[in-house]
Each structure stands twice: as structure tokens, then as C-alpha cells.
């Protein structure tokens, strides 16, 4: 499996192909791991030039859809997403990786992985 670095344009083109699929988004920040399961309906980007501080991102990737979030602190319990999108803050230094199965976005804040959800039976 070859891992490749992508430009943001290449990343966007590949991720657009996943629209309509169930995906899993994992966020690892410091010692905190959250997983979000969602049906990806669309993708957009936002730019906020009126930030109050440096913690608020200037650019964000917005993954639109419905889903559930599972946090490490309340394992085995899920909560509905608080909005109809999942926001990933982007920085000029963000690294975009793809290995033919999952995307990894590495930022100063943490690492986000996006992959197609495994088939689940209910």
C-alpha cells in the first residue's frame, strides 16, 4: 500500500468520490480520541477572516451529513452530531495523506482520519 502526499486540490477531488458513502472520521488531539460515523452528503470549505483569536481556524473543511459521535470519555455511547456537518480546521501547514483506503489530515492541533465505514449489521 503506497501512502501519498496530496495537494488540497487532489485531496478534494478524491474525497468528492466518497459522497454518498458512510464514513468514519477519527480525531486524535493530545490524549483525546473521538470517532464520528456519518453519511457523507457533500463537502464544502469555509474561510473566516474575522477570527477572535488564533484558536479559531481561518479555513475549515466541512463534511456535510448526518451522523453520530462517540467520544473516548463516554465509550460505547453515541450522541447525534450537534449540526449537519463535521468541521476540520485547516492550516497552511496541514499535510494531506492518502493510502488508497483512508485519508489523514495532520495539523498542529491533531490528526484526523477519514475512511469508508465497515459494513455494519444491525
Walk along the chain (122 residues) and give the pLDDT tens digit of each residue: 456 799 999 999 999 999 999 999 999 988 888 999 999 999 999 887 554 555 555 689 999 999 999 876 656 678 888 899 999 999 889 999 999 899 999 998 899 999 999 874 33
Residue 103 belongs to some domain of the structure: yes
**Which residues, other chains included, contact 78 with Cβ-Cβ below 8 Å and sequence gap of 6+?**
37, 68, 69, 70
What's the mean per-residue pLDDT of the chain? 85
Residue the block writes with cell 449489521: 121
Rg (CA), the chain: 14
Per-residue pLDDT at 122: 37
Residue 98 belongs to some domain of the structure: yes
Residue 122 belongs to some domain of the structure: no
| DSSP summary character for residue 73 | G
Per-residue pLDDT at 55: 53
Residue 95 belongs to some domain of the structure: yes
pTM over 0.75: yes
Residue 56 belongs to some domain of the structure: yes
**Which residues, other chains included, contact 63 with Cβ-Cβ below 8 Å and sequence gap of 6+?**
23, 25, 38, 40, 43, 85, 86, 87, 88, 114
Domain around 10: 4-116
Per-residue pLDDT at 38: 96
Per-residue pLDDT at 111: 96
Per-residue pLDDT at 121: 37
Residue 46 belongs to some domain of the structure: yes
CA distance 55 to 36: 22
Residue 121 belongs to some domain of the structure: no
Residue the block writes with cell 469508508: 116
**Count of beta carbons in the 10 Å neighbourhood of residue 22:** 16
- Structural domains in the chain (count): 1
Amino acid at each position: 500500500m503506497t501512502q501519498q502526499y496530496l495537494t488540497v486540490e487532489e485531496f478534494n477531488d478524491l474525497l468528492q468520490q466518497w459522497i454518498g458513502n458512510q464514513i468514519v472520521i477519527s480525531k486524535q488531539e493530545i490524549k483525546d480520541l473521538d470517532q464520528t460515523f456519518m453519511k457523507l452528503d457533500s463537502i464544502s470549505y469555509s474561510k473566516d477572516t474575522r477570527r477572535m483569536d488564533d484558536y479559531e481556524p481561518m479555513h475549515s473543511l466541512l463534511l456535510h451529513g448526518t451522523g453520530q459521535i462517540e467520544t473516548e470519555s463516554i465509550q460505547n455511547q453515541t450522541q447525534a452530531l450537534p449540526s449537519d456537518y463535521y468541521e476540520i480546521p485547516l492550516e497552511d501547514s496541514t499535510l494531506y495523506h492518502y493510502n488508497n483506503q483512508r485519508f489523514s489530515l495532520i495539523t498542529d492541533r491533531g490528526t484526523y482520519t477519514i475512511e469508508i465505514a465497515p459494513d455494519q449489521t444491525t
